[in-house]
Amino acid sequence: MVQLGILCRSLAAFGRQFVPPHAAISESDLLLLENFIAASQKLFVITGAGISTESGIKDYRSERVGLFATSASRPTNYGDFLRNASVRQRFWARNTTAWPLFSSFKPNFSHKFFATLEHQSRLHWLVTQNVDNLHHKAGSRRLTELHGTVYSVICLSCKQMVPRDELQERILAENPGWSPTPEGFAPDADVFVAEESVKSFKTPHCEGCGGVLKPDVVFFGENVPRRRVDDINQCLEGADACMVVGSSLDTFSSYRHVCFARQELGLPLLIMNIGRTRVDHLGGLKISGRCGEAFKLLTERNNI
């Protein structure tokens, strides 16, 4: 059995460290945020990993605390996953170890803030780069998960879908007595596991056709489906402002939509992120700080 207790104790000790160093939100920045949201009737929002670090989920790119800053490990590449059975074995061994904890993460104040805006008919559309399902858990429905969700698994041959919780039960049944010890956290339902444990792990396959199973997410090195890209741009065409929260936008999949919003549609842009972003040159408004703090202060001020 996967050692959930060890994971939970580790999270309690280290989870808060996943938010990078930051200054408190200033009164001027809070006023900037308040006025930007108040001026919009059809707000379009893009969120990234920075919105979920406050829920205890490690991200990739944050300075000092992200995976790229703290480890030489890199996420699984799509091509490697397709070609190499040992890569798939390692991926599923680590994902299986992480799943009990990852699936228990809860939405934080920022996720709930945007769900509230939607319920008040003040949010036009929300796009998240995250695969953690936390916006959905918070109640958001006008939502596109740009990179998919780890809560669904697809067979790459017959395209049959299976819920991740259901697959977890089958994996554990096929690996009786398998009990790895997690050795550290990584983003997106991933933890580090000793290579000896990986080698003894039995990789799951499709029950219907025996094909390769993959979380229904866009891996590094994989493209976002064209239909999803077009649908997001269509939603942007109906918006009157664009807001980026908790993302450096270093990945092209999200960067292109903000460029479309700003350069093609001329939408007002506000970026809330700790640190630099790839679109700082586009001339939008910029707030550097923890989004949960900002939205909580804004809610208290406006009784949202």
Active site amino acids: 147
Q: Which token pair is 20?
A: 């990078």
Burial of 57 (C-beta count, 10 Å sphere; 0-12/13-18/19+):
buried
Helix axis angle for 291-302 and 109-119, nearest 10°, is: 40
| Nearest CA among 171, 153, 151 for reference residue 162 | 153
Buried b (16+ CB within 10 A) or exposed e, 282-304: eebebbbbbbbbbbbbbeeeeee
Which residue matches tokens 């700080």?
289
H-helix or E-strand containing 259? Answer: helix 252-259
- HSE-CB for 279 with a 13 A CA cutoff: 30
Q: Rounded CA gap, 178 and 120, in Å?
A: 48
List, edge to edge, every strand of the sheet that includes 143-145: 143-145, 123-128, 43-47, 241-245, 269-272, 285-287
Give CA–CA dist 14/68, Å, rounded: 17
**φ, ψ for residue 108 (rounded to 5)?**
-100, -170
User: What phi-psi label fits residue 112: left (phi over 0), alpha (psi between -120 and 50 degrees) or beta?
Assistant: alpha
